[in-house]
Amino acid sequence: MMTKAVKWLLIVNIAAYAINMLVGMVWGLNLNALFGLFYVASPYFLPFQFLTHMFMHGDIWHIFFNMFALWMFGRIMEQTWGWKKFLIFYFVCGFGSALIQEMGQLIGLINQHDYIIGASGAIMGILLAFGMLYPNEKMFIIPIPFPLKAKYFVIGYAVYEVILGLLNLDRTAHFAHLGGMLFGFLLILYWRFKAKTRTSHSYSGWRTTSTHPNMNVHYNKNERSRDYEFNAQKKEQNDEIDRILDKIRQDGYASLSEKEKKQLFDASNK
């Protein structure tokens, strides 16, 4: 099932790659050198690069693996959150990866002449989100001959990125990848705190009014009846969504029926 935001992100990324290839073949230009993100003190730096670098890729394998991961994990997270929340998360992770890259260049940990391209920072954030929300989902990673739970894969991949970033053996922006994961982690924590705070201050169905000289509590039976029906219906819907999420954790997303997928998708857009 292709979700709305993931579909358009795939279209824009693939279109940008195709245009860059066409411009390179016809005019011999490399648009990555214009739209990739340079160090802020570089004469080649332009502010819009914080956004445009996320849609530029170096070669066919670079864009293939990024877009495959976006399709594989992004559609599940979009169905979980809804397209608006998913896009917020995607771009926060992308900008976060850029900020960590710039900080690494500022302190001399990363070559200041390098520039970064690709959606990898945002993709790493999505991967982390999948591991946090569906930690026990089993994943088959080639060439590992046995399935790994998502939480272990995410932790292992983060350690892998740290090691390669410190060793600096290639030109991959490992710290930018970690930046995407870090900002994704912080945003999820913020959303969880916000949801918890909202729940603790939920409306109880009672109304208080102040009259002189005493404080009286007024109770409206019709309002209580409506509130009771609404809360009962809401609880039933929430219980069903919890059941679906538990089913995903135990048996995987593929185990859902089309009806259950639609229920999850509809709930995420409310």
Query: Per-residue pLDDT tens for 152-164?
Result: 989 998 998 989 8
Q: Are 153 and 139 in contact (CB under 8 A)?
A: yes
Own/partner long-range contacts of 248-255 (Cβ < 8 Å, ≥24 apart): 248/134, 248/137, 249/134, 249/135, 249/136, 249/137, 250/136, 252/137, 252/138, 253/76, 253/134, 253/137
Average pLDDT for 240-255: 75
At residue 222, the pLDDT reads 58
Mean per-residue pLDDT over the chain, rounded: 85
| CATH code of residue 153 | 1.20.1540.10
Q: Is residue 64 part of a domain?
A: yes
Shared-domain flag, residues 28 and 87: yes
Furthest-apart CA pair in the chain: how many Å?
A: 84
- Does some domain include residue 200? no
Report, as an integer, the average pLDDT of 13-24: 97
User: Residue 231: what pLDDT?
Assistant: 64
Least confident of 185-194, 225-234, 255-264: 225-234
Q: What residues contact 65, with CB distance under 8 A and at least 6 apart?
A: none
| Residue after which a domain boundary falls, among 194, 216, 244 | 194
- Give the per-residue pLDDT at 207: 41
What pLDDT score does 212 carry? 45
Statement to judge: residues 235 and 106 lie in one domain: no
Same domain as 124, residue 74? yes
Which of 145, 168, 194 is the C-terminal boundary of a domain? 194
Residue 54 pLDDT exceeds 60: yes
Domain-embedded: residue 75: yes
Check residue 208 and give its pLDDT.
Answer: 38
* Shared-domain flag, residues 98 and 173: yes
Whole-number Å distance between alpha carbons of 55 and 3: 19
184 falls within a domain:
yes
pLDDT of residue 227: 58
Domain contains 227: yes
Residue 79 has pLDDT above 80, yes or no: yes
pLDDT per residue over 183-192, tens digit each?
A: 999 999 999 9
Q: Is residue 221, in this structure, part of any structural domain at all?
A: yes
Question: Would you say how long the chain is, in residues?
Answer: 270
**Can you give the pLDDT at residue 181?**
96
Question: Helices 150-167 & 174-200, crossing angle to 10 degrees?
Answer: 140
Q: Does residue 177 share a domain with residue 216?
A: no
- The answer on 75 and 8 residing in a single domain is yes
Burial class, 267, CB count within 10 angstroms (exposed 0-12 / middle 13-18 / buried 19+):
middle
- Residue 25, pLDDT above cutoff 70: yes
Query: pLDDT digits over 82-130, tens only?
Result: 999 999 999 999 999 999 999 999 998 889 999 999 999 999 999 999 9
In a domain, 202, yes or no: no
- What's residue 2's pLDDT? 86
> What percentage of the chain carries pLDDT values higher than 90?
59
User: What's the rounded mean pLDDT across residues 39-52?
Assistant: 96
Q: Is the pTM of this model over 0.85?
A: no
pLDDT tens, residue by residue, 230-241? 666 766 777 788
Residue 246: which residues within 8 A CB-CB, separation 6 or more? Answer: none
Q: Based on the structure, what is the number of domains in the chain?
A: 2
Range of the domain at 221: 207-268
Q: Give dist(CA 253, CA 204) in Å, integer.
A: 35
Q: What is the pLDDT of residues 202-226, one digit of tens each?
A: 544 434 344 444 444 444 555 555 6
Same domain, 153 and 231: no
Rg (CA), the chain: 23
Q: Which of 171, 194, 217 finishes a domain? A: 194
Verify that 174 and 212 share a domain, yes or no. no
Mean per-residue pLDDT for 167-188?
Answer: 91
The token duo for 29 is 């230009």
